[in-house]
Amino acid sequence: MISEAVVDLSRWQFAATSLYHFLFVPLTLGLSFLLAIMESTYLMTGREIYKDMTQFWGKLFGINFALGVATGLTMEFEFGMNWSYFSHYVGDVFGAPLAIEGLMAFFLEATFVGLFFFGWDKLPKWQHLIVTWLVAFGTNLSALWILVANGWMQNPVGAEFNYETMRMEVTHFSDLIFNPAAQVKFVHTVAAGYTTAAAFVLGISAYYMLKGRDAAFARRSYTIAAGFGLAACLSVIVLGDESGYTDGEVQKAKLAAIEAEWHTEPPPASFTAIGFPDQDKMETAYAIKIPWVLGLIGTRSIDEPITGLTEILEKNRVRVREGMKAYGLLQKLRNGEKTPEHIAEFNRYKKDLGYGMLLKRYTEKVADATDAQIELAAQYSMPRVVPLFWTFRIMVACGFIMLGVFIWAMFASSIRKCRQTTLLKWSFYMMPLPWIACETGWFVAEFGRQPWTIAEILPTFLSASSLSEWDLYISLSGFIALYTVFLVIELFLMLKFIKLGPSSLHKGRYHFEITEQQEVSHV
């Protein structure tokens, strides 16, 4: 058995590296589309300023993209490096979308991104525009395939356990692609990316207007960001991925934990807006509840119940017991006793095999587990309510604040009144919010899946590689050191170019390159 410290360190490392990677991904997803929109406007209007916008925001895109690429490689390595049992156990299913992501998306985005930067003088305008769109399309396709993979971890459909190979194998690949958990996740994540990029452009443009520089450039960027951001922010909220939480038991448990839904209520369930959940007592102090709302959001109906945590725990107790039987039968099959009875019996219980494996945390002899161990395993199968309850609310709060600002910005832009200090200040100070929302959103989705790597199939503590603690100390400290240096460098460059603004293009017509009179006449 691998040590608990190795599992914990592996989890910390994976969480740290993927949260870090996810600082850059959303901006890439959204900014690539904004660049394509700006360049399309350039072609339609023929006005140079839109080309300048594409190139300037493209510069910032490049600085961000480089770190996204650098840290993305880590993710592909880490499945094998740190989660080798996971890689063996589900590689047959999980590996496929990753490989398809490479073939379909990475090639597209990486091949054309160079041409985006260096093809301005080498291509006719319309061809360059197509290149920009292909980059945007490629980045978004990569999000699709990685979320197909991730959706399968949340709600593993279309695959079955094979006792001869001791792993999960694909049965219906189309189920993976049309997995509701994956589809909702994809829409929610890319929309979050679009919101992030819009807030980024909105905030920086607001900064230029507050400073009174490059007004025409800033106002146009601001307007595009406001429109794009409003549409994106609305989608991210309306198509929030709560609606995907009705498929799969672990998704249901996650939803119940987010909402601190201790018991199943008669439908439609009420929504706990705020309160202080306490997992030991299984109650929420000072809860403010809004009737009906949770049932409507969660199930899109008024007659389907939302399962409460108590009821889920009750079910899981049974499933751990069934899982014990499955595990015992599996041992017999693995030891060569492949009688038709054993196989039939195993097939009856194998859907609970994962619950049986939870017992490995408490005993090596799973088939002989005691009642006390079974109770521990059942308790362990439940998500932690308090962290999920709060991170979810932080994410939602960020979303609604951004929505408010985007509505305001859109309205003001449409009547050509966006140059009011209060609005611009709100736009500027709002900039950290999309990142907070993205990171907390990641946390809710992935921490909420615990104790599983593959929901109901493979527990996290079994997924890790059999490494030594020292391996992990070395790698984790290496990542922390290197990533910190990278972040400092990236922020330094980013801030430098933001401060320079479009003057960094050296076109001779922006703030630091011209006199005050010229600048005024430009507006």
Report the run of H or E that residue 162 belongs to, with start and end: strand 159-162
Write down the least CB distance from residue 65 to another protein, Å: 8
Q: Pick from 475, 498, 511, 519: which binds another protein (CB under 8 A)?
A: 475
Q: Pick from 317, 493, 514, 522: which binds another protein (CB under 8 A)?
A: 493
Length of the chain: 523
274 counts as binding another protein under rule CB under 8 A: no
The residue range among 28-36, 60-68, 292-300, 368-376 that interacts with another protein, by the rule CB under 8 A, is 60-68
Beta 271-278 vs 283-290: how paired, if at all?
antiparallel
93 counts as binding another protein under rule CB under 8 A: yes
What SS3 state is found at 291? coil
164 counts as binding another protein under rule CB under 8 A: yes
The residue range among 163-171, 217-225, 275-283, 343-351 that interacts with another protein, by the rule CB under 8 A, is 163-171
Write down the least CB distance from residue 131 to another protein, Å: 9
CB 169 within 8 A of CB 160: yes
What is d(CA 274, CA 287) in angstroms, rounded to the nearest whole number? 6
96 counts as binding another protein under rule CB under 8 A: yes
What is d(CA 117, CA 111) in angstroms, rounded to the nearest whole number? 11
Question: For residue 456, is it left (φ>0), alpha (ψ between -120 and 50) or beta?
Answer: left
210 counts as binding another protein under rule CB under 8 A: no
Q: Pick from 19, 170, 282, 514: which binds another protein (CB under 8 A)?
A: 170
Residue 470: CB atoms within 10 Å = 9
Total site size for another protein, rule CB under 8 A:
76
The residue range among 75-83, 223-231, 422-430, 512-520 that interacts with another protein, by the rule CB under 8 A, is 75-83
What SS3 state is found at 433? helix
Q: Pick from 5, 43, 44, 166: which binds another protein (CB under 8 A)?
A: 166
Write down the least CB distance from residue 346 to another protein, Å: 15
249 counts as binding another protein under rule CB under 8 A: no
Q: Which of 353, 319, 364, 355 is nearest to 163 (CA)?
A: 353
The percent of the chain in helix, strand and coil, each rounded to the nearest 5, is 75, 5, 20
Site string for another protein, 424-463 (x = CB under 8 A): ----------------------------------------
Q: Which of 119, 8, 105, 4 is nearest to 58 (CA)?
A: 119
506 counts as binding another protein under rule CB under 8 A: yes
**Which residues, 6 or more positions from 72, have their beta carbon under 8 angstroms from its beta carbon?**
21, 25
Q: Pick from 310, 486, 499, 522: which binds another protein (CB under 8 A)?
A: 486
User: What's the start-to-end Cα distance of the chain, in Å?
Assistant: 69
Is the torsion defined by CA of 302, 307, 308, 311 positive or negative?
positive
171 counts as binding another protein under rule CB under 8 A: yes
Residue type at position 178? F
Residue 339: CB atoms within 10 Å = 10
Is the torsion defined by CA of 411, 417, 423, 424 positive or negative?
positive
Question: For residue 260, is it left (φ>0), alpha (ψ between -120 and 50) or beta?
Answer: left
238 counts as binding another protein under rule CB under 8 A: no
Six-digit token pair at 238? 């309306």
67 counts as binding another protein under rule CB under 8 A: yes
267 counts as binding another protein under rule CB under 8 A: no
Site string for another protein, 13-52 (x = CB under 8 A): ----------------------------------------
Q: Pick from 4, 45, 165, 288: which binds another protein (CB under 8 A)?
A: 165
Which CB, 94 or 346, lies closer to another protein? Answer: 94
80 counts as binding another protein under rule CB under 8 A: yes
- Among residue numbers 298 through 357, which ones bind another protein (CB under 8 A)? 334
Q: Pick from 311, 471, 480, 522: which binds another protein (CB under 8 A)?
A: 471
Which CB, 74 or 279, lies closer to another protein? Answer: 74
65 counts as binding another protein under rule CB under 8 A: yes
What is d(CA 68, CA 61) in angstroms, rounded to the nearest whole number? 10
